[in-house]
Amino acid sequence: MRKEIYNLLKSSIIFFSCSTFAKDPQVVIVYSAEALGNPAYAQVIAGIEHMNSHVQRIESTGDNNNISSILDATHADRVIALGKGIVENIYRTEYRERTLAGLMYFNPAEYSGVGLALDNRVLVEHLARLLPSVKHFFVVQQSHFQTIDYVPNNLKSSAVIEIREGVDSLDTIRVLGRLLDEATSADAIFIPANLPKNILYEVAKVAWDKKIILLSTNLSHLENGALIAAYPDDFALGEQLGRLVNRPSPVYENIKVIKFALNRRVAQHLAIEFDPIILDSFALKIK
């Protein structure tokens, strides 16, 4: 009997202990109140909440000094900080280790979380499907502003992707200029996401004349001569962040789910025709 009581108590202790340890971590999403106007934020938050039902939202109103005390009050186990300003602020507090960054470009050395840079493997895979005639993709970007993460191994596609980087914006423009000189109509060039509009106009003019395909990771470039713009799926980004919450160690991931937008007028100029199924896969099509 004593043994039975002992076993019962032991089982109860084990049961309660297990239930305590199995409790979901308290996840807090911190973002700027001003950023709510941006629909990307809403999508990302929705994605996070889709993966974690018990998350708490904190809208920062700009007073960043008491961000630590706010987080203390919420007993946050994991923090998802959206936007560069918010991330930088929280990384100055003791929540640094518990924070995942989102909706900003960064590299693994800087922050944990999901960076906005696209995964080249995913990208090439999609592009090979969208533009099967293009065998050579050039990515021109600034070395300190990478919008496409280049992972050389495990490429499933037969298409070649080549990264060309400039040390600063002027150098990047020069790299792009030289590339435009040597590229042919069978090549596609990813122009830098931060390419100024006036330069973009000139680049687009040259590309238009030479019928070179311009691609971009900046959606606004679609209206200025880019054929296809690749951009993150914000909801999927949120889900990605939501999944990372459960990982105990710091981790970096790039965007896995990419959306594509098409400029049909450029496509018409370049005489590129898409199958209806392919065409339907574009999240956005403009004329």
What is the binding site for other proteins (CB under 8 A)? 168-170, 173-174, 177-178, 196, 198-199, 202-203
Minimum distance of other proteins from residue 105's CB (angstroms): 19
Minimum distance of other proteins from residue 212's CB (angstroms): 15
Cβ nearer to other proteins, comparing 102 with 166: 166
Cβ nearer to other proteins, comparing 138 with 260: 138
Minimum distance of other proteins from residue 142's CB (angstroms): 12
Cβ nearer to other proteins, comparing 60 with 141: 141
- CA angle, corner 264, sides to 225 and 262, nearest 5? 75
Type and span of the H or E element at 179: helix 169-182
Minimum distance of other proteins from residue 211's CB (angstroms): 18
Cβ nearer to other proteins, comparing 125 with 165: 165
Cβ nearer to other proteins, comparing 156 with 178: 178
Q: From 284, 274, 256, select the one nearest 125 (Cα to Cα).
A: 256
CA 177, chain centre distance (Å): 27
Q: From 78, 121, 95, select the one nearest 254 (Cα to Cα).
A: 121
| Integer Cα distance of 171 and 165 in angstroms | 8
Long-range contacts of 37-44 (CB under 8 A, 24+ apart): 39/234, 40/103, 40/234, 41/82, 41/83, 41/103, 43/234, 43/235, 43/237, 43/238, 44/82, 44/102, 44/103, 44/234, 44/235, 44/237, 44/238, 44/241
SS3 for 8-20 is HHHHHHHHHHHHH
Minimum distance of other proteins from residue 88's CB (angstroms): 23
Minimum distance of other proteins from residue 167's CB (angstroms): 13
Cβ nearer to other proteins, comparing 27 with 189: 189
